[in-house]
């Protein structure tokens, strides 16, 4: 039997010696438990399936979490506390940006797999007004995901603060659809 694996909420589960029928049963249990869809291409073979729920509600929760992180950033006690809260803001910003374009793709029924393509389509649909700002958000997210130093953190935090209002504007547009 081949080794089968599945990535579920950051935990890797290795399933050794399991038949494809048993694997499908596990897949359906995971699907019904979390209400998410594991891509069919990951069924019954070695691969990584990701369980992710992309919805307007999840996007709204992520925006609320970002706002909470900014509120904590303003009530810092010392430099270490500030850095920890700043990093939390940056990580929540990264998640919000990714969820923003992915949720928009789902709501608009697009086949876009790249964020910049999705942003152009969001502008065509009237969900956002300033494409350039959104490109800057994507670039800031990519910088923080791939390179991390103090200068990058300051730049990304600045972009994250600008994102909050734009993110809520997008949320209103998505809910109106």
73, 82 Cβ separation under 8 angstroms? yes
Q: How many CA atoms lie within 13 A of 150 on its CB side?
A: 2
Q: What average pLDDT does this structure show over 156-165? A: 94
Given 3-state DSSP classes, what are the helix, strand and coil percentages for the chain, each rounded to the nearest 5?
Answer: 70, 5, 25
* Structure confidence at residue 4 as a pLDDT band (50, 70, 90): very low
Q: What is the model's pTM?
A: 0.69
Q: Which of 57, 20, 58, 59 is nearest to 40 (CA)?
A: 20
CB atoms within 10 A of CB 64: 13
Statement: residue 112 has pLDDT above 70: yes
65, 132 Cβ separation under 8 angstroms? no
Each residue of 72-81: pLDDT tens digit? 998 877 888 8
Handedness of CA 94, 95, 96, 98 (dihedral sign): positive
CB atoms within 10 A of CB 126: 10
Element (H, E) at 103: helix 79-108
DSSP annotation of 127 reads S
Distance CA 107, CA 174 (A): 7
- Ordered structural domains, the chain, with CATH: 4-42 (no CATH), 56-176 (1.20.120.330)
Each residue of 11-37: pLDDT tens digit? 445 555 556 666 666 656 655 554 444
């Amino acid at each position: 039997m081949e080794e089968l694996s599945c990535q579920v909420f950051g935990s890797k589960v290795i399933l050794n010696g399991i038949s494809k029928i048993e694997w499908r049963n596990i897949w359906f249990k995971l699907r019904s438990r979390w209400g998410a869809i594991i891509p069919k291409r990951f069924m019954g073979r070695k691969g990584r399936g990701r369980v992710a729920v992309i919805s307007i509600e999840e996007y709204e929760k992520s925006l609320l979490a970002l706002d909470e992180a900014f509120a904590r950033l303003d009530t810092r006690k010392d430099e270490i506390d500030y850095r920890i809260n700043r990093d939390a803001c940056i990580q929540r910003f990264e998640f919000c940006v990714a969820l923003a374009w992915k949720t928009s793709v789902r709501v608009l029924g697009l086949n876009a797999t790249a964020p910049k393509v999705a942003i152009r389509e969001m502008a065509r649909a009237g969900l956002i007004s300033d494409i350039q700002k959104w490109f800057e958000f994507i670039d800031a997210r990519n910088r923080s995901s791939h390179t991390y130093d103090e200068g990058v953190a300051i730049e990304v935090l600045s972009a994250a603060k600008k994102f909050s209002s734009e993110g809520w504007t997008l949320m209103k547009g998505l809910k109106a659809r």
